A and B are shown apart, each in its own frame.
Chain A
């Protein structure tokens, strides 16, 4: 648990460090960043995984504020920031149970294995989106329309997944 808490703090701090805020926004981003890291550590310390989403949202907001000051150049570290953000969430959520749990070695190995696999998949997904963003022609109505279509598609996909999850639960319950 101590390692998990330390991991949560390190991931959150790494997100803040990687934002590389511009000079005029440094004070704002630094304040939000410090608050986000403190929140994450507090959540890990209090063993309240429910509050971790607020910490991650704050970290994401800090990154949004930081990159808002950049020019049109795309941040090359965005996939890494995305992965660290996700890792912060999982480290704080999965390893801060509200009660102490005796974890046997076999179960711990399985958990680490799954986390590594999902982490690699998440990294690949972030890189793929990054490649799409870089390779796509910038500007233009076509780009906006395709972006909007992608957003709609994502929303539909989410709704479908949520529906499937609910159906699966109902089927298991019956």
Chain B
């Protein structure tokens, strides 16, 4: 609990003394009369008061919501003694929009319970401390306003908003079982792959009788097993470019969430690597639990300033397994991230460049225009170098839908695979 002194306790003594001094100096007793109400006001403001005892409880309608949705914060105030004027305000972290704004002032009689509520709109993904109510005893005409805090009790997780992708980039290498991707090898599966002459050990049910009757010998059908792939979403968080409608890292995290959810829905094993000032990773896995683990990992994505050299050699093999399909999301501005992408060329990698151009405003003078064009040319040259290294890369503006970018990448990736084969 703490006190805030109001202007009454500071200003009134000065008024009173000034009025009395002026009354004597000017020989006008009326000025002393002016001081009388302020003396009464000062005495009332500084009188000793018993603080009301209140118990405050809060609850959130949900502790895990999607970006852009709203949650209800409800407060319940039990008064042990009469609380004639309580000002109650939610203490929420910046980034949450509170409706209605500002505090509520109410009276709670002894033994009664008052209920107040606010709507918190979550405009930006992240983890927020929420639920503490700041309760002030706001006695009218008082000189002090004691504050009774309740500690924050809730953590609100606002998950990044994701969009649906109809097309996904199909990884080249698959392994294991239980996925939706037809494997490149022939084995037991559903999808037809080839016919070949019968060999001892082949099962009778694999015999392709139609082909066998035409050719006069036994032929069997080969099929592709359904397998899953290791998908690693690689986020470059060395830099975070701020813009009026969010930052580059915001866009990268939303895109990573979209990709992770879409690939998990295809029963792939998905992991994430945050490559920046701090290198973090989550090993690829499949399933609903992994979905939540991925979202939690994405919520912790932040840009940390660091001058240290980073290399993907520091990333353990389990987080970046051989044969993994890597989807890199980067503004391609930091040299260390670009070097890491070149190192990732030995994997099956595609890159999505979060366009830095949308966060830059070119200067209007001729020199500024030339500099802006040069900068864009330099960015195009970086993309070309990555393509030459075997990494298809597409520029994406975060205010545009991502589906066309993924479709373009899928086409390029397929071409690159065919060329490589």
Contacts and interface: CB of A to CB of B under 8 A. Distances in A.
A143 B44 CA distance: 30
Given A50-B7, A100-B102, A102-B104, A83 B37 contact: yes
Task: List 3 tightest A-B contacts by C-beta distance, closest first.
Answer: A122-B37, A106-B107, A86-B37
Interface in A109-125: 109-111, 114-115, 118, 121-123, 125
B129 to A, nearest CB: 21
Contact of B141 (A50, A78, A94): A94
A165 B51 CA distance: 14
Contacts of A109: 107
A60 interface: yes
B29 A125 contact: no
Nearest to B6: A93
Contact of B36 (A50, A56, A122, A165): A122
7 contacts: A57-B18, A86-B37, A94-B140, A107-B84, A123-B37, A126-B33, A129-B36
Most B-side CB within 10 Å, residue of A56, A63, A78, A107: A107
B346 interface: no
Given A64-B22, A115-B141, A161-B46, A133 B103 contact: no
B162 to A, nearest CB: 35
Contacts of B104: 101-104
Interface of A: 49-50, 52-53, 56-57, 60, 63-64, 67-68, 74-75, 78-79, 81-83, 85-86, 89-90, 93-94, 99-104, 106-107, 109-111, 114-115, 118, 121-123, 125-126, 128-130, 133, 147-148, 151, 154-155, 158, 161-162, 164-165, 168-169, 172-173
Interface in B65-111: 84-87, 100-107
Interface of B: 1-3, 6-9, 11, 13-22, 24, 26, 28-44, 46, 48, 51, 84-87, 100-107, 139-141, 143-144, 146
B28 A64 contact: yes
Contact of B101 (A60, A86, A89, A99): A99
Contacts, number: 166
A107 B85 contact: yes
Nearest to B103: A101
A60 B3 contact: no
Given A110-B84, A118-B41, A162 B46 contact: yes
Given A114-B139, A129-B33, A151-B24, A90 B7 contact: no
Contacts of B143: 165
B46 A114 contact: no
Given A68-B26, A101-B102, A125 B40 contact: yes
B24 to A, nearest CB: 6
B40 A110 contact: no
Contact of A107 (B9, B39, B106, B144): B106
Contacts of B105: 101-104, 107
A111 B85 CA distance: 8
Given A57-B15, A115-B141, A162-B46, 16 more contacts: A53-B14, A60-B15, A64-B28, A78-B33, A85-B37, A101-B103, A102-B100, A102-B104, A103-B104, A114-B139, A118-B40, A125-B40, A129-B33, A133-B32, A151-B20, A158-B42
